[in-house]
Amino acid sequence: MLHVVCAIIYNDDEILIAQRSDKMALPLKWEFPGGKVERSEEKKMALQREINEELAMEIEVGEALEPVIYHYKSFSITLYPYICNSSSKAFIKREHREIRWEKIENLKKYDWAAADVPVVKKLITEINKM
């Protein structure tokens, strides 16, 4: 079982989404940036480290959403999503094929990694209640 943290990074009313490259696992799927938690690492620290490595961004890590367990064909993951904030829209694209800021109501048109689908649904439901 992989333990993966991911960041739902808000700036104004947009969040940062990323497309995996064709050389990564789950090629070309869209995801929230993040990565594997290393042994003995605290999850929020792991997330800040990953976001710094992948995007050269500093984020504030806030509320934890409900973790998602998903069994892909060749591996299983527990995905731990966190609501995060960034005071800037600037990033450096280091690993992904594409990275963009997007409004929540537009998230459904992307081809998400399967583990992210319940997270995206939750975000859309929440915004529709407002």
Ligand X SMILES: Nc1nc2c([nH]c(=O)n2[C@H]2C[C@H](O)[C@@H](COP(=O)(O)OP(=O)(O)OP(=O)(O)O)O2)c(=O)[nH]1
Specify the stretch interacting with ligand X by CB under 6 A; choose among 26-34, 82-90, 101-109, 122-130: 26-34
By the rule CB under 6 A, 35 interacts with ligand X? yes
Number of chain residues interacting with ligand X (CB under 6 A): 17
- Secondary structure of residue 108 in the 3-state scheme: helix
Query: 58 φ, ψ to 5°?
Result: -100, 130
Pairing relationship of beta strands 30-31 and 68-71 according to DSSP bridges: unpaired
6 touches ligand X (CB under 6 A): yes
Is 80 one of the binding residues for ligand X (CB under 6 A)?
no
Using CB positions, name the residue nearest to ligand X.
35
Of the residues 31, 47, 55, 91, which one makes contact with ligand X according to CB under 6 A:
31
- Residue number with CB closer to ligand X (29 or 60): 29
**What's CA 94's distance to the chain center, in Å?**
15
Assess 2 for contact with ligand X (CB under 6 A).
Answer: yes
Beta bridge partners of 85: 10, 60
Q: DSSP assignment, residue 112? A: B
Residue 15 near residue 81 (C-beta atoms within 8 A): no
**H-helix or E-strand containing 49?**
helix 43-55
Q: Reduced to 3 states, what is the DSSP secondary structure of residue 68? A: strand
Nearest approach, Cβ of 93 to ligand X (angstroms)?
A: 14
Q: Which of residues 94-123 bind ligand X (CB under 6 A)?
A: 113, 115-116
Which residues of the shown chain bind ligand X in the complex (CB under 6 A)?
Answer: 2, 4, 6, 24-26, 31-36, 77, 79, 113, 115-116
